[in-house]
Structure 1
Amino acid sequence: MATLPQPADDRLLRLARHPAAIAAGAGVAAAVLILWQVGDTAIAAGFAAAALVLLGGIVAARRLLPTRIPISAEPDWSVAHAVALASADALAITDRGGRIACANDRYEALFGGFPTPPNIDIGETEAARLGMTGRAAWRDGAARCDLTVRGMAVDASVTRIGDDLLLWRFKAEDTGVATTKVAALVAGAQGDRLGGAGIMTALLTADGRVKAANRVFRARAMGQEDAAIEGRDFARFLITDSAGVVRFEREGLSGNPLRLLQVPFVEEEEAPILVALLDDEPTIAMPAIGSSAASHVRSLVALLPAPLALVDRDGRFVHMNDAFTTAAGVEAGSPPLYPGDLVVREDKGALADAIRRFAGGGGFTTQLTVRFAARAEEPVQIRLTGARGLGDAAVLMSVKDSSEEGKLKRQVAQATKMQAVGQLAGGVAHDFNNILTAIIGHCDLMLMRHTPGDSDYDDIQQIKTNSNRAAGLTRQLLAFSRQQTLRPQVLQLPDVISEVSNLLKRLLGETVSLVVQHGRNLGAVRADPGQLEQVVVNLAVNARDAMLSVNPNGGGTLTIETKAVSAAQVRAMDDDVLPVGDYTALRVSDTGTGIPADVLPKIFEPFFTTKEVGKGTGLGLSTVYGIIKQSGGYIFAENLHGSGAAFTIYLPVHAGGIAPPALAPVRARQGDTWGTGTVLLVEDEDMVRAVAERALSRQGYTVLTAENGEAALELMSGAAAPDLLISDVVMPTMDGPTMVREVRKRFPDLPVLFMSGYAEEQLRRSIDLDNVAFLPKPFSVQQLAEAARDVLGTK
């Protein structure tokens, strides 16, 4: 028990409270002494008068000066000590200086002593969180936080007591229902049955202290069946000789050798441990209660929640519990004969060899990583332990089912890979758009010098056509990386399907039937209608190819359905990915071959295709995925029970007003594109800057150029404002929006035209400026001229 130090003796303080009495006594004593020595009454009377004057001065001073407040006595901690000892929680009281005034035994057990909160050895992050909680309690009177201490979840609450003390309470949660059940089994009737078969069992805490034990273990370890063994150190009951043989310490080196068997029933750190001890040599055991040792062992194994199985010396299964059959994918009514029957062919030999070695008495425990045939894509860990003395059983098998953990790891790895590929795709699209802008621009400039019929005209036109096709590929890359420019509108899905139906009929051909079904009470969604049309077309083309692969002569049915999905229906689906809410669903299904199981997890990956070389880019479904995710929706693929596959898209129902529109793109308009004025062109790519400068100069503008934002600011320092500022968005040293903000400080009404190979949707978050327009790359000379004219026309 930790307490504050007691105060020093205060007798001098009590004496100091009566200075008048001290002065009067001193004066009288001095007068008597002089009268005795000198014998002069006058001198003695003078000393007595001086003492009286001093006494009067002291009394006057005490009345004029403020009375000193006495030092308070030390508080009585006995009541606090009693309350702390009676509490099941860890308690501590600290003063303003952070010193512990009081703490109970539970606090010492939880933290290994009496460290001062928050200076507890629980890791920097947890200690920092506890310190913030303490400061909040000083300020607000009370605060709480959740901590993890030695693998246990701990609820920490701090309460201010008066103005000088803090009460720290730490409540640790239970280790779990499984631990409670096993403790009851070990100490109850099941433990007695095991004891009757000569099996000593004990449940240990993570630090090796006994939590529960059966009667036989108590009798062998302590000499009495009803001895109080809970909380004692398990290791102190055992000794080991020079040969490594384990015996009970109470029985000495002449006692029977023991074999320890550890049963992992909770796969958590700091979890309790179930230990079984068996005599390595025949001993006189207590009579069995009801049946053989094997039946008792099977009863215990069947009740444990961990996947466990028993294997005999010939390598055949003796017993397996329900958790094991579930983890191994054992079908009801057809149990396997050998463990090797459960795993894939590659793992049969290693598992059989390990079981044979342990069945023969070799080794104590080992772990193998295998794959069950029922779930070949998910490796699991199998722990093998030799188990002599358990009847027919010779090997104990336990399975660590890490399927969920492995699934989460694969999902995280897949998400990380997709994010990295998406960033790469966006960067490639940006650089590719700059190159295409230069190619298309130079083609336009050459076409101005050639007329139809010239020998070079058709070649230049072909180059421009192929460049425009490449621009479509960059749009697919941006769609995959969710960086394409969207023009979201509030719309109804049936309207989008109606717009694209005629195109679908031509794409599907005469041999594939198109069936469209619309549900009732469909909610409006907010999405880009053009991008949704692209989604439907891509899914329809993939479905057509799948159906033609079944029947090259044609045939099949493509079904497009729309339906309303309420929040209650989503909740009933219990899907981990789809949040609860109201959705409008679009389902595209076909009667093709379906999607192979090994291909299904990869279908949305970029550049992944099952088509022949030269017949697919692998960007179709990745583009669909990018568009749907950027629109705030979700897409799922599944195989149908009969034949074929289905893609279901969930778009959230739009609620509220229409969001403000995005930066409006510059629409190409026919007409005169000639203009006048000064244009400042800022572009870091030399080839794009050269093309844009020539194109604007041909239209009659005076063009000033700069290679980055800093150069543009230096060019404009002290100069007059240009009529138009055209700038790239992403540039080295200083980007376009930052440069425009600096320019707007001098010229607040300067019109700005941004151009970029990245998508406007991505850049909108950084472009929070008024009176700006956007021109996506790649663009033609005509589009650039019309964009400049339109922006200057709104000036």
Structure 2
Amino acid sequence: MTATTLPSADAELGRGAGPAAALVPSGLSRFDRTLLGGLVLLSVGLLFWATRDAVLAAGFLAGLAIAAGGVLLLRRVFPAVGASEAAAPDWTMLRQAVDHDDVAIAVTDRAGRLVCANDLFATWMGGFVTPPGLPLDGRGAEALKNAGRAAWRDGEGRVDDLKVGALPLRAQVNRTGQADDYLVWRFAAIDRLDLASEILRHLEGPAGRTLGQAGVMAALVNAEGRLRVANQAFLLRALGESDASHYAGRDVAAMLRLDDSGGLTFAREGDRAPPVRMLQIPLAPADPAAPVLLALIDEEVGPADRGTAQTYIETLLSLLPFGLALVDRDGRFLYMNRAFGRAAGVADGRMPRYPGDLVVGEDKGPLADMIRRHSSGQQVGGDLSIRLVGQGDDPVSMRVVGVRGLGEAAVLLSLKDSSEETRLKRQVAQQSKMQAVGQLAGGVAHDFNNILTAVLGSCDLMLMRHTPGDSDYDDIQHIRSNANRAASLTRQLLAFSRQQTLRPQILQLPDVISEVSHLLRRLMGDTVQLAVHHGRGLGAVRADPVQLEQVIINLAVNARDAMMPGGGTLTIETYPVSAAEVRQMGNEFMPPADYSALKVSDTGAGIPADILPKIFEPFFTTKDVGKGTGLGLSTVYGIIKQSAGFIFADSRPGEGTSFTIYLPVHRTAGAAPAIPGSGAPAVPAAPIRAKKSQWGTGTLLLVEDEDMVRAVAERALTRAGYSVVTASQGEEGLERFAGMDKVDLVISDVVMPTMDGPTMVRAMRARRPALSVLFMSGYAEEQLRQSIDIDHVAFLPKPFSVAQLAEAVSAALDDAAHRVSDDG
């Protein structure tokens, strides 16, 4: 390694910038000049006294003056550099002094310039960088700067926690030099000993063989009691082989056993195995997940004392991943392993005195009776269902077994950590409940939609015969209005069960909020303020705008009710969320992708923590009787999930509630031009289709198993100008179809007894491939299309009005005509 002295620093030092500069003599001192002048005058005086010749004395004086002037001139023209060179520091010695293999050294002057540094400094710092401006992580540069200031002030400064990349360093800064004009910066790497790695390396090498020769069998075991490495002496006794390459991960507890006298032996050596004594050495006592070093030595043959047996069993219990504890005859805890403490919710190092301290009050008595019964002689184990303190009302199973020959221990308790299992059971039960209720809601909605279709159709037909002012007109309108309210309720049921028919479009969230904001201001009233904030760079989403508006309205109404009667502020925000931000969230349910987020927040009283997990359940409400159906948030949840989105609630009592909706950004095959100023792609406008006529001609086959719906639909279509043939189920529909010369359109229910609509249509298409079909159903279109593999079919959701039926028939006939013309 070679130390480096910067050229600029040498040049500066050569000009006399520091103590290493040359000392150039500037002439004689004042005393020397006075003494020399006096001697010259004395010499001239003696010469004049001896010769009495003034001219001679003056000439002698002039010659001395000329000689002195010549000497001074020569000194100015040819300065004495030898003295300067002799006074300069030996930089070769400095370079040799800072040459280290393990310490990086740099020297700076008072002006903050780098004077000298060794190659290790350049290697660690990525070049000859002047301290303290080094590439240190975190606040290292600031800490090093403070150490430099301390060195200028006090002569020394230190920093013990620096990092350059993955290299930990400590730094020492000292002030030095004849005039204290320099700082010496020393950087040393911090050695962090990995005790487990060192032991693992030594047990496999000569150190392990040396221990074996001394009769010590050593093994390194992880926190779960699995073998990591062992010396040959241990492997020969425990496994009969000396190769540990394929035994890593074996259960160490299975290699050992307690004999009848309480002695610890190796299991493979049988009943006559010599006992061994085991020492358990935790490598990091404060870390429960740290590995443990086991050292075993042969013990003198003889019965083990009670204390030794208990020590052995405690060591074995600590290696097992099951929750086990020892209790004496008085019902007091003697020992519990870490697994038992975790399952019981016991903090490390705080073992309770009695097992009853772990359970609720009602279970203390039965547990104490069972422990007393088994400690007095009964050795057959028994199970007891208990409830642990602080872990809710969910019971856990504790097994109690009487034991003998383990010193003071009389009872062995076993407790399984079932918290994760309980959580999974809750999730499965909740999912099963939601699925069952969803299926029930879907079935009820389907049947109810058939009834509402007949009611709405009959009202429409009656309104055609009555005009405003007739005695029955207002009554019919009331019936129709209430039927529409019932239809809205069925849509909520379908939304909750995720079986509603969605009409998704490519849209921007700010546009949807803008459409509904006027309605929101009327719904909020005067006491609630509405604040809307939109972020930049929002991506387009694919969703049903009508259903998305319903989501916003439901959340806003709930927020308004939560802020009553005092009022508050309702805030609606939109912002983009990148895939990287989703990963940082660490949510296991949301896949990493780009999302557009919609957040609805209020300043109400908040939701208690015990109620928050239940808010999306159907029919769950905290409102008074008659003021809420409990379907608002479950409807919101169903709409968002059916739109491939996610919704999360966050609330703290007294601080309000916020609902955040994440909808995936829609990616099209061809990128559309960006919207100016938004950074988001432009959303192509949906084509506007002309409203279809409610009148037409053609022959229709109507297949519907509900008599009321079939009768209403037949009357409506006949009145619209069509020739209608009806059938009550699939087989009858096939018979009617076979006897008809011409069928322009088949209108069929999907779910029917004996033969459903899709099966009937497949048989008809086998005869006439170009047959046009319009399905109608109370179930969701998306759900039905997953099971219907028939091309070119239209769909009409129930309930529908007479006008909607006529428009759907007209549109289906037009589409069929377009297909025929395109094929031609």
Could you tell me which amino acid in structure 2 is paired with residue 751 of structure 1?
A: S
Aligned to 1:35: none
Match of 2:563 among 544, 547, 558: 547
Determine whether 1:180 maps to 2:218.
no
Give the Cα separation in 1 of the matches to 2:751 and 2:383: 54
On the 8 A contact 2:262/2:406 being kept in 1, the answer is: no
Distance 1:231 1:297, change over 3 A: closer
Distance 1:284 1:753, change over 3 A: closer
Aligned to 1:678: 699
Give the Cα separation in 1 of the matches to 2:269 and 2:577: 56
Query: Following TM superposition, by how much is the alpha carbon of 1:789 offset from its aligned partner in structure 2, in angstroms?
Result: 3.2
Aligned to 2:754: 733
Query: Following TM superposition, by how much is the alpha carbon of 1:436 offset from its aligned partner in structure 2, in angstroms?
Result: 0.4
Match of 1:457 among 466, 473, 478: 473
Determine whether 1:776 maps to 2:819.
no
Aligned to 1:637: 649
Secondary structure in 2 matching 1:439 = helix
Distance 1:218 1:372, change over 3 A: closer
Match of 1:213 among 244, 256, 260: 256
Give the Cα separation in 1 of the matches to 2:772 and 2:439: 31
Query: Following TM superposition, by how much is the alpha carbon of 1:478 offset from its aligned partner in structure 2, in angstroms?
Result: 0.9
On the 8 A contact 2:261/2:303 being kept in 1, the answer is: no
Aligned to 2:582: 570
Match of 2:777 among 738, 750, 756: 756
Query: Following TM superposition, by how much is the alpha carbon of 1:667 offset from its aligned partner in structure 2, in angstroms?
Result: 8.2
Secondary structure in 1 matching 2:661 = strand
Determine whether 1:713 maps to 2:723.
no
Query: Following TM superposition, by how much is the alpha carbon of 1:658 offset from its aligned partner in structure 2, in angstroms?
Result: 8.7
Match of 1:316 among 332, 338, 357: 332
Match of 2:523 among 496, 507, 517: 507
Aligned to 2:809: 788
Give the Cα separation in 2 of the matches to 1:509 and 1:344: 49
Give the Cα separation in 2 of the matches to 1:332 and 1:555: 48
Query: Following TM superposition, by how much is the alpha carbon of 1:396 offset from its aligned partner in structure 2, in angstroms?
Result: 2.9
Give the Cα separation in 2 of the matches to 1:321 and 1:518: 55
Distance 1:514 1:310, change over 3 A: farther
Could you tell me which amino acid in structure 2 is paired with residue 761 of structure 1?
A: E
1:442-488 deviation per Cα after TM superposition (whole angstroms, max 9, x unaligned):
11222222222222221111111000000001111111111111122
Give the Cα separation in 1 of the matches to 2:812 and 2:230: 81
Could you tell me which amino acid in structure 1 is paired with residue 619 of structure 2?
A: F
Secondary structure in 2 matching 1:178 = coil
Superposed, 1:262-661 pairs within 5 Å as 285-286=303-304, 298=314, 300-302=316-318, 304-331=320-347, 336-388=352-404, 390=406, 392-548=408-564, 553-640=565-652, 643-657=655-669
Distance 1:210 1:472, change over 3 A: closer
Query: Following TM superposition, by how much is the alpha carbon of 1:218 offset from its aligned partner in structure 2, in angstroms?
Result: 10
On the 8 A contact 2:224/2:319 being kept in 1, the answer is: no
Query: Following TM superposition, by how much is the alpha carbon of 1:219 offset from its aligned partner in structure 2, in angstroms?
Result: 9.4
Structure 2 stretches lacking a partner, 5+ long: 1-220, 239-249, 275-300, 672-682, 818-824
Query: Following TM superposition, by how much is the alpha carbon of 1:296 offset from its aligned partner in structure 2, in angstroms?
Result: 5.9
Give the Cα separation in 1 of the matches to 2:648 and 2:577: 15
Give the Cα separation in 2 of the matches to 1:343 and 1:658: 63
Aligned to 2:101: none
Secondary structure in 1 matching 2:794 = strand
Query: Following TM superposition, by how much is the alpha carbon of 1:352 offset from its aligned partner in structure 2, in angstroms?
Result: 2.3
On the 8 A contact 1:556/1:590 being kept in 2, the answer is: yes
Aligned to 1:144: none
Aligned to 1:692: 713
Give the Cα separation in 1 of the matches to 2:481 and 2:494: 20
Give the Cα separation in 1 of the matches to 2:253 and 2:567: 72
On the 8 A contact 2:503/2:543 being kept in 1, the answer is: yes
Secondary structure in 2 matching 1:309 = strand
Could you tell me which amino acid in structure 2 is paired with residue 731 of structure 1?
A: M
Query: Following TM superposition, by how much is the alpha carbon of 1:610 offset from its aligned partner in structure 2, in angstroms?
Result: 2.2
Distance 1:508 1:330, change over 3 A: farther
TM-score (norm 2): 0.59
Secondary structure in 1 matching 2:618 = coil
Query: Following TM superposition, by how much is the alpha carbon of 1:720 offset from its aligned partner in structure 2, in angstroms?
Result: 1.4
1:81-140 deviation per Cα after TM superposition (whole angstroms, max 9, x unaligned):
xxxxxxxxxxxxxxxxxxxxxxxxxxxxxxxxxxxxxxxxxxxxxxxxxxxxxxxxxxxx
Give the Cα separation in 1 of the matches to 2:794 and 2:688: 7
Superposed, 1:33-72 pairs within 5 Å as none
Aligned to 2:137: none
1:188-235 deviation per Cα after TM superposition (whole angstroms, max 9, x unaligned):
89x99xxxxxxxxxxxx99xx994236x749989xxx98x75175xxx
On the 8 A contact 2:450/2:799 being kept in 1, the answer is: yes
Determine whether 1:230 maps to 2:268.
yes
On the 8 A contact 1:347/1:371 being kept in 2, the answer is: yes
Q: What is the number of equivalent residue pairs in this alignment?
A: 545
Distance 1:211 1:777, change over 3 A: closer
Distance 1:735 1:287, change over 3 A: closer
TM-score (norm 1): 0.61
Distance 1:691 1:477, change over 3 A: same
Distance 1:697 1:323, change over 3 A: same
Distance 1:589 1:411, change over 3 A: same
Query: Following TM superposition, by how much is the alpha carbon of 1:312 offset from its aligned partner in structure 2, in angstroms?
Result: 3.6
On the 8 A contact 2:225/2:319 being kept in 1, the answer is: no
Give the Cα separation in 2 of the matches to 1:520 and 1:351: 62
Give the Cα separation in 2 of the matches to 1:340 and 1:677: 83
Give the Cα separation in 2 of the matches to 1:349 and 1:576: 42
Query: Following TM superposition, by how much is the alpha carbon of 1:286 offset from its aligned partner in structure 2, in angstroms?
Result: 4.6
Distance 1:344 1:532, change over 3 A: farther
Give the Cα separation in 1 of the matches to 2:621 and 2:319: 49
On the 8 A contact 1:344/1:376 being kept in 2, the answer is: no
1:250-297 deviation per Cα after TM superposition (whole angstroms, max 9, x unaligned):
9xxxxxxxxxxxxxxxxxxxxxxxxxxxxxxxx974579xx8766665
Say what the alpha-carbon RMSD is for the aligned residues: 4.0
Give the Cα separation in 1 of the matches to 2:408 and 2:339: 21
On the 8 A contact 2:606/2:656 being kept in 1, the answer is: yes
Secondary structure in 1 matching 2:224 = helix
Aligned to 1:264: none
Give the Cα separation in 2 of the matches to 1:391 and 1:300: 15
Give the Cα separation in 2 of the matches to 1:478 and 1:296: 64
1:758-790 deviation per Cα after TM superposition (whole angstroms, max 9, x unaligned):
121222234444543322211112222233333
Distance 1:302 1:286, change over 3 A: closer
Give the Cα separation in 2 of the matches to 1:570 and 1:180: 37
1:637-661 deviation per Cα after TM superposition (whole angstroms, max 9, x unaligned):
34337633333323223233399x9
Higher Rg: 2
Could you tell me which amino acid in structure 2 is paired with residue 212 of structure 1?
A: M
Could you tell me which amino acid in structure 1 is paired with residue 525 of structure 2?
A: G
Distance 1:591 1:387, change over 3 A: farther
Aligned to 1:109: none
Could you tell me which amino acid in structure 2 is paired with residue 567 of structure 1?
A: A
Distance 1:449 1:231, change over 3 A: farther
